[in-house]
Amino acid sequence: MVEATTVAELCGFIGTLAVRGAPALGAAGAMGVALAAVRGEDIAAAGAILKATRPTAVNLAWGVDKALSALDPVAEALRLAADDVLRNMAIGRHGAGLIAAGSRVLTHCHTGALACVGWGTALGVIRTAWEAGTDLSVWVDETRPWLQGARLTAWELQMLGIPATLVADVMAGSLMASGDVDLVIVGADRIAANGDVANKIGTYQLAVLCHHHAIPFYVAAPLSTFDPATADGASIEVEERSADEVTSFAGVRIAPLGVAALNRAFDVTPAALVAGYVTEEGVFPSPPLWD
């Protein structure tokens, strides 16, 4: 648990990934504007600073804009937070039917309750299916370099009592080749108008592998992650993070000093590789229309 009492503190938590995951960022963005309002600060300036902390997850800008355009930013932030849980549970109900009994599901990064206000998106689908009595098991990608899978997904699945096995990201192809994966379901940080999906680095290669092995690849996300203003994946700004996250592990330098390293936090999966978009309104073969 972290407590931010200033917008600067909140931005610090977002920048260091203490607060992360697209839906959680949406709620945090709205809460940040509410915090500025309570403190009597310039809410437009606060919103601009918040939006700049992480560019890829559209939910952050969405949450900021929702609070900025509300008569009462505090009430709006609280409403969005409560609404997030209900929407995620609806995503779970719509997606649960995609998971047949006995399925071995592979997921990437972390899309559970801690990445949202509650319940989760892709992990929420898995949870809903499990709690409805579907026998299933989960392959958990560790998700280099921050290890959201190893640190968060594995923990949440353990708390829920769902059978899960942690694997190195690079093992996904081998698991598919040996016939041990029935479907892949991941979350998203931004879905462009044409259906291209920005999500945690490593997602794209999973989608390509799924295509090769004829395994369905699903994306679960609330409608707030769909961005009609962004035409396609090439127009999505992909956050680049510090090279230290790749050259070091848990604070210990593992690569030679002076080596070049590139650390893109997200990649873009073309819409053609997505079997379906699981939203709170249903499962769609292409991006749903927005109001």
Which parts of this chain interact with ligand MRU (CB under 6 A)? 17, 20-23, 57, 109, 111, 115-116, 121, 148, 187-189, 199-200, 265
Q: Going by DSSP bridges, is the β-strand pair 197-200/266-269 parallel, antiparallel, or unpaired?
A: antiparallel
CB of 241 to ligand MRU, least distance (A): 8
Distances 136 to 102, 104, 129, 153 between C-alpha atoms, Å: 5, 6, 8, 15
Nearer of residues 37 and 192 to ligand MRU, judged by Cβ: 192
Nearer of residues 70 and 115 to ligand MRU, judged by Cβ: 115
Using Cβ positions, the residue closest to ligand MRU within the complex turns out to be: 187
Among 62, 29, 70, residue whose Cα is nearest residue 230 = 62
What sign results for the dihedral spanned by CA atoms 148, 149, 150, 155?
A: positive
Q: Which three-class secondary structure state does DSSP give residue 283? A: strand
Nearer of residues 232 and 245 to ligand MRU, judged by Cβ: 245
Return phi, psi of residue 6, to 5°. Answer: -135, 160
Give the type of residue at 148: Q
CB of 224 to ligand MRU, least distance (A): 11
Distances 55 to 14, 94, 237, 241 between C-alpha atoms, Å: 11, 29, 6, 11
CB of 179 to ligand MRU, least distance (A): 26
Tokens 């949450």 belong to: 63
Nearer of residues 144 and 200 to ligand MRU, judged by Cβ: 200
Among residues 84, 189, 227, 267, the one annotated as catalytic is 189
CB of 38 to ligand MRU, least distance (A): 26
> In the annotation, is 189 catalytic?
yes
Active site residues: 189
